A = this chain, B = another copy of it.
């Protein structure tokens, strides 16, 4: 293989495929990036067997076709530090790779590309399409309430519910539910799949924030494929049945609160400071006529906060893990939120003031 390409462009694409390179050292080839130069062009691939990423063809002058697997860490560090505008990459028949640019010449050992695992085949026929930035936001706004332990494997992923018009993304960790809804620009009918949290956290990093960039999503029984234009990401799905989250959200409520989101976050953050154990001390909400009072008490001391709010209904008193409340509120971009309370021992729901783009459910703590 021999080719010449732009250095900055190569750095960008390495950063993309790096998200699918394994950090574990069980199978050394999985710590590599596969470089392929063939009739389709110059392509990079990363694959840790759970998650694979393959770039689109990178602009390059291909002088000799071929393929080679190079340890991702060293390849990345060398390329991003090169001081030439262009990089020449060539291999010999013993898999030695020479990288030349500016004042530098590196020679490092690669591995034969034939040992690199293929990405799973996913038929790219009919697609679910949405804006990359919308998907990016939906992931950010739900991923924090994925279950951290593996007791219920389905809860370590997020439910993707597709229908003719919408996509819903849902995460549940046993104490709370995060739900986001967004329009689809194209659909091919109803489908529910569970996508691993690791996949979504890596996907979030490479989704574009540019308003015009779209992502096409293709689903099979075992896999999901995201086509970002610059690259495709393929992930296995989590097998199993997600919990029926809809029935946890009740339409009934006794008290409705309209409140400034940032004021509430800051009060909760301050109140949780009197907790030594990583914010596990409950904070108590007391709804008054025109204010919410937030109090916390531990062996360290007490905190009292008063926030003005529009409150309708009963003067309920209820306690929460402040971290759950803060994380949900932080994920919301709106300035104001609506909160529905039913009783001291019933979950509360955080909603948009208008519309149905999100709902967050949080279980209360017994005081």
Seen from chain A, the residues whose Cβ lies within 8 Å of a Cβ on chain B are 74, 77-78, 81-83, 96, 103-109, 263, 266-267, 269-270, 273-274, 300-307
Number of this chain's copies in the assembly equals 2
Return the chain B residue nearest A105 by Cβ.
B304
* Contact residues in B for A300 (Cβ distance below 8 Å): 74, 108-109
Q: Report which of B83, B96, B104, B301 forms a contact with A303, defined as CB distance below 8 A.
A: B104
Known contacts A74-B300, A300-B74; decide if A270 and B104 are in contact (CB<8 Å): yes
In the complex, besides A104-B304, A108-B274, 8 extra interface pairs with C-beta distance below 8 angstroms are A74-B301, A78-B270, A78-B273, A83-B266, A103-B305, A106-B273, A106-B304, A107-B302
* Contact residues in B for A273 (Cβ distance below 8 Å): 74, 77-78, 81, 106
Chain B CB count within 10 A is highest, among A78, A104, A266, A274, for A104
Return the chain B residue nearest A108 by Cβ.
B301
Q: Report which of B106, B266, B307 forms a contact with A274, defined as CB distance below 8 A.
A: B106
A81 adjacent to B269 (CB under 8 Å) = yes
* Contact residues in B for A103 (Cβ distance below 8 Å): 263, 267, 305-307
A77 to B273, CA, bound (A): 7
A16 to B298, CA, bound (A): 28
Q: List 16 A-B contacts (CB under 8 A).
A: A78-B270, A81-B266, A81-B269, A81-B270, A83-B266, A103-B267, A103-B307, A104-B270, A104-B304, A105-B304, A106-B302, A106-B304, A107-B303, A108-B274, A108-B301, A109-B300
Minimum CB–CB distance from A8 to chain B (whole Å) comes to: 16
B270 adjacent to A301 (CB under 8 Å) = no
B307 adjacent to A106 (CB under 8 Å) = no
Minimum CB–CB distance from A97 to chain B (whole Å) comes to: 8
* Contact residues in B for A267 (Cβ distance below 8 Å): 103-104
* Contact residues in B for A82 (Cβ distance below 8 Å): 270
* Contact residues in B for A107 (Cβ distance below 8 Å): 301-303
* Contact residues in B for A302 (Cβ distance below 8 Å): 106-108
A300 to B110, CA, bound (A): 10
* Contact residues in B for A274 (Cβ distance below 8 Å): 74, 106, 108
Minimum CB–CB distance from A91 to chain B (whole Å) comes to: 13
* Contact residues in B for A105 (Cβ distance below 8 Å): 303-305
B270 adjacent to A303 (CB under 8 Å) = no
Minimum CB–CB distance from A183 to chain B (whole Å) comes to: 37
* Contact residues in B for A74 (Cβ distance below 8 Å): 273-274, 300-301
Minimum CB–CB distance from A284 to chain B (whole Å) comes to: 15
Minimum CB–CB distance from A260 to chain B (whole Å) comes to: 11
Return the chain B residue nearest A297 by Cβ.
B107
Minimum CB–CB distance from A108 to chain B (whole Å) comes to: 3
A279 to B110, CA, bound (A): 21
* Contact residues in B for A306 (Cβ distance below 8 Å): 103
* Contact residues in B for A108 (Cβ distance below 8 Å): 274, 300-302
